[in-house]
Amino acid sequence: MLALRRVQPWAVGFAQRSATKQVALASTAVDTDGSHSQSSGEPVAPQKHQSRAIRTRRPRISLQHPREWNRPLAFGVLPAFDEALKVIKEDSMALKDEVTALEGAIAREKETPQPDQHALRLMEDKLRILEVQSEINFPQVRWKCANGMADMSKAVDRHLLEQRWRKEGALDLLMERIHQMKVVPDVLPDIHPSLDLRVNFPKVKSNAGLQATVSKAVYEHVEPGVFLLPEQTVEPPKIYTTVFHPEERLYTLLMIDPVTDFPDETNQTFQTYLHWLQPNIPLSSVSLSPVPNLNTHTAYIPPHPQRGTDYHRYTILLLPQHSRLSIHMVAKDKRTGFDVRAFMEKHGLDKNVGGVHMWREVWSEGVPALYKEILKTAEPKFGRMPKADRYGDFRGKKRYV
């Protein structure tokens, strides 16, 4: 009995091209012989090859283009795989029974006249763990989270995304940059991010002339610590967040130019400049991204690095609040000398958790327009501090008298 062998697609294509080439050679031979040739004096026009778009094998998968998980192996092909799925399902059902029993215990404890708050916290923590464990081993759950189709209303999906953020390099890169570039401790003494904060600015279309041209429609992700052009940051960025708590909490957004970057001419020193302030931002794991309505309090003023200064480290903080805050708007002429730590202490903001992002900018040809059109002031120009003349007292005096 003959066994059929599956031919690879590249092999089929090679066979087809070889057959076409053989037919062409045979046709040329017939024409050379002269028995079937047409008018030999007419020039033969070269054939034009039409380029075809190369389609990727992997389809687009996201929340906008969802797809269902398919088994890699059909039933019966590998009995060990079928048995593994069976064991995972049985374990999940047992854990869900524990979840149901624990939910009943929590409800009964809450109905008592004086519920034990410590016992309630322990049971709620155990409930969250059981909810994750009952679903985390299913391959379809992990596949959806890995392909951008996580359901953030589910505890297991939130857990998987948080572990991916913490362990696959995104958080490590952020912490490396904010410590390398001294955002910690120049802005905050320390910070341990508890949410994923991402920033998008317009993409640069052309940087050939004196002033760069940016796209108003195409935004791109900004990696922490990279250099941006002032022309890119004229408009407020799009802020994306991935929050890992299901309940809604309030946050305050701050964007500053740190204390060692913004010059203070009067006192011949440096000071902090407040670019943006938005309190009482409600966020949860199912909040919309990008975050809407972020320019309704202290309006965004674009970065404007002064000519002659070193690079500026523009920092965005997203800090959790304990309650709703009543904060006065900060006028344009009152934004210099902003004390971040005193502001956080006054309003009770948590300085150890939240979100952080930063990038760098230097002066470019687009900065004078920012001073003229937005800040309505003359552009300052700075230079290096003059060196002290150690021999100034001796100049002009006779040396040999």
Q: DSSP for 87-135, please give it.
A: HHHHHHHHHHHHHHHHHHHHHHHHHSSS--HHHHHHHHHHHHHHHHHTT
pLDDT at 7: 39
Place of tokens 């740190």: 258
Q: pTM for this structure?
A: 0.77
65: Cβ contacts below 8 Å, ≥ 6 apart:
59
Helix (H) or strand (E) holding 161: helix 155-167
Q: What percent of the chain has pLDDT over 70?
A: 81
What is the pLDDT averaged over residues 258-272? Answer: 67
Confidence band, pLDDT 50/70/90 cuts, at residue 38: very low
Among the residue ranges 63-72, 218-227, 254-263, the one predicted with the least confidence is: 254-263
Q: Is the pLDDT of residue 227 over 50?
A: yes
Confidence band, pLDDT 50/70/90 cuts, at residue 85: very high
pLDDT at 353: 92
CB 340 within 8 A of CB 184: no
What is the pLDDT averaged over residues 16-45? Answer: 44
Confidence band, pLDDT 50/70/90 cuts, at residue 266: low
What is the pLDDT averaged over residues 173-182? Answer: 95
Place of tokens 């026009």: 45
* Cα angle 237, 241, 243; round to 5: 160
d(CA 56, CA 392): 73
Among the residue ranges 83-92, 274-283, 377-386, the one predicted with the least confidence is: 377-386
d(CA 27, CA 136): 64
Taking Cα atoms as reference points, which of 151, 109, 108, 154 lies closest to residue 128? 154
d(CA 293, CA 362): 29
Strand partners, 233: none
What is the pLDDT averaged over residues 60-89? Answer: 90
Please give the radius of gyration of the chain, using alpha carbons only, rounded to the nearest integer.
33
pLDDT at 269: 64
pLDDT at 260: 67
pLDDT at 43: 52
DSSP letter for 322, please: S
Longest dimension (CA), the chain: 121
Burial class (CB in 10 A: 0-12, 13-18, 19+), 174: buried
What is the pLDDT averaged over residues 47-75? Answer: 76
pLDDT at 61: 78
d(CA 78, CA 174): 43
Burial class (CB in 10 A: 0-12, 13-18, 19+), 125: exposed
Confidence band, pLDDT 50/70/90 cuts, at residue 333: confident
Confidence band, pLDDT 50/70/90 cuts, at residue 150: very high
Burial class (CB in 10 A: 0-12, 13-18, 19+), 304: buried
d(CA 163, CA 158): 9
pLDDT at 267: 56
d(CA 68, CA 91): 23
Mean pLDDT of the chain: 84
pLDDT at 263: 60
Confidence band, pLDDT 50/70/90 cuts, at residue 15: very low
Strand partners, 252: 319
